[in-house]
Amino acid sequence: MGDRAKNLVLKRCYSFVLAFLVIFSNIGGAFPAYGAERPVIQISNGEELARIGQDPAYPMDGDYELTADIALGGNWTPLGGYMGIKGTCNPEEGNVFSGTFDGKGHVISGLDIRLEGGIAEGKYGQVGLFSVIGSNQAEKPAAVKNLIFSNVSVYVDFSNEFAAVGSLAGEANGYAQISNIAVVSGKLTVNPSKACDTVGAGGIIGECRSEDSVGNGNVFIMDCYNGADINSNGSTDFNYAGGIVGRIAQSACGAVTRCVNTGNVQYGGNDAYGIATGANSNAGFLATVSDCYFLDTAGISLTEGARGISEAEMSSGILWGGLAEGGWKAEKGCYPFPGFCFDSSAAGEIYLSQLSFDFAEGESTAGVRTSFGLPMQWGEIGVTWTSSNPSVLKVENGQAIAFPDAIGMNTVVVLTAESSSG
């Protein structure tokens, strides 16, 4: 499973790092109409993105759209902060995003969140790009769509209280519409010290637990893909980790539909849930999960609406159930994605991340003593390879040939693959 995490890619190049320590040192659903009545705020870089919730000109109830890909740098603080009230969807709370956000098919790469320490008594740690997405007003639902994440890195290890963690948001509550979100690659590590109660760790959303007066019936999560691995622990034995939503509590969502997860999901070192789980393993909270699929080696399921399928099926180029109705695209040899992702700068990563390597017995990217085979074809697309240091690792006739005697300790070589179409 770990080999899927080696796709460190920009545009149509596919790179991975060969560490020679061992051998040498010894990227849409319907949106509410009200957004069209207000001026849309355009976001073109990380600085502008970070102003949301911090600058009065960038309010948490504003309407936003991305105009460019964004490469984030440094430790990201969830928009509006990361401590809030359990299940809140009240726009008056500072960490609740109640506006609209249209990614326009752009990629946010390098989302890096690292949070440790204590949570204020009676609060939740609600962690993601956003903290909480939601609204308590039916006529003004919160909505986020058409957004791609690449190379997500989230590390949360709180010392007390509760945590809900996802790439997009810690929680989605009340009146909320999440559609066409893709997490292409990355890893979420949640509470490894087991000091905090993990109430939800998900590839897209940590938890849906709307306050009782509103309920989850108007939370819609549609056409989302997760390829990030999730490694979660917590202070209780309750397993609340899922490829799309970590936990659904109190009541079923309006819908969790047409979602795919290929990320490995674990809780406490064991397989967690491929798509979502319900509080206290209550399958009734998953009654509205439908047309969702996950790698059968990546997790388990409590509902027929989330089905595990094999690697061969996942990369067969076939769309199942209602995926086609949501604009999904499948090509043989590649996992299915929302169709707009194939037109984004993440397309190269999507296409080339499925390439596999023919290593000699006992060798891997962490230790190469001889040579290994390089895939020169992806479907009908030709692939060419170059080495950053041919005197150490030479590319020749479909092989990467290592020269261990040519270098000293801690040498790194990068191989780059490029498709014939660029």
Residue 280 lies in a domain: yes
Look at residue 393 in the predicted model and tell me its pLDDT: 87
Among 329, 325, 291, 29, CA closest to 179: 29
39 DSSP 8-state letter: P
Residue 10, H or E segment: strand 8-10
Does the structure show a pLDDT above 60 at 12? no
What residue has token string 């020269």?
Answer: 403
Q: Are residues 107 and 9 in the same domain?
A: no
Residue-wise pLDDT for 265-306, tens only, equals 999 999 999 999 999 989 999 999 999 999 998 889 989 999
Cα 241 from Cα 248, distance rounded (Å): 10
Q: Are residues 303 and 414 in the same domain?
A: no
Residue 352 lies in a domain: no
Look at residue 319 in the predicted model and tell me its pLDDT: 95
Q: Are residues 183 and 125 in the same domain?
A: yes
Look at residue 370 in the predicted model and tell me its pLDDT: 83
Q: Do residues 156 and 197 lie in contact, with contact meaning Cβ atoms separated by under 8 Å?
A: no
Q: Are residues 55 and 18 in the same domain?
A: no
Q: Find how far residue 103's CA is from the centre of its chain.
A: 15
Measured in degrees and rounded to the nearest 5, phi and psi for residue 358 equal -100, 85
What 3-state class would DSSP assign to 302? coil
Cα 420 from Cα 422, distance rounded (Å): 5
The residue among 345, 380, 405 that closes a domain is: 345
pTM (2 d.p.): 0.82
Residue 350 lies in a domain: no
Q: Find how far residue 46's CA is from the centre of its chain.
A: 18
CA atoms within 13 A on the CB side of 371: 11
Q: Are residues 202 and 235 in the same domain?
A: yes
The residue among 317, 345, 373 that closes a domain is: 345
Q: Are residues 145 and 18 in the same domain?
A: no
Q: Are residues 13 and 103 in the same domain?
A: no
Cα 185 from Cα 170, distance rounded (Å): 18
The residue among 319, 345, 371 that closes a domain is: 345
Residue-wise pLDDT for 387-413, tens only, equals 888 888 899 888 888 887 765 555 667
Give 262 or 27, the one with higher predicted confidence.
262
Cα 253 from Cα 218, distance rounded (Å): 6
Counting other chains too, the contacts that 396-399 makes at CB distance below 8 Å and 24 or more residues apart are 398/373, 398/374, 399/371, 399/372, 399/373, 399/374
Q: Are residues 77 and 148 in the same domain?
A: yes
The count of other CB atoms within 10 Å of the CB of residue 268 is 15
Residue 108, H or E segment: strand 100-109
* CB proximity list for 258: less than 8 A, separation 6 or greater: 222, 223, 290, 291, 292, 321, 322, 323, 325, 326, 328
Q: Do residues 346 and 374 lie in contact, with contact meaning Cβ atoms separated by under 8 Å?
A: no
Does the structure show a pLDDT above 60 at 184? yes
Look at residue 333 in the predicted model and tell me its pLDDT: 82
Confidence of residue 28 (pLDDT cuts 50, 70, 90): very low
Residue 125 lies in a domain: yes
Cα 137 from Cα 140, distance rounded (Å): 5
Residue-wise pLDDT for 207-222, tens only, equals 999 998 899 999 999 9
Does the structure show a pLDDT above 50 at 344? yes
Domain that holds residue 401: 2-24+357-419
Look at residue 8 in the predicted model and tell me its pLDDT: 29
What domain count does the chain have? 2
CA atoms within 13 A on the CB side of 219: 32
Q: Are residues 279 and 329 in the same domain?
A: yes
Q: Are residues 61 and 14 in the same domain?
A: no
Counting other chains too, the contacts that 309-315 makes at CB distance below 8 Å and 24 or more residues apart are 314/262, 315/354
In the sheet with 8-10, reading across from the earlier edge strand, the strands are 8-10, 13-19, 412-419, 381-387, 377-378
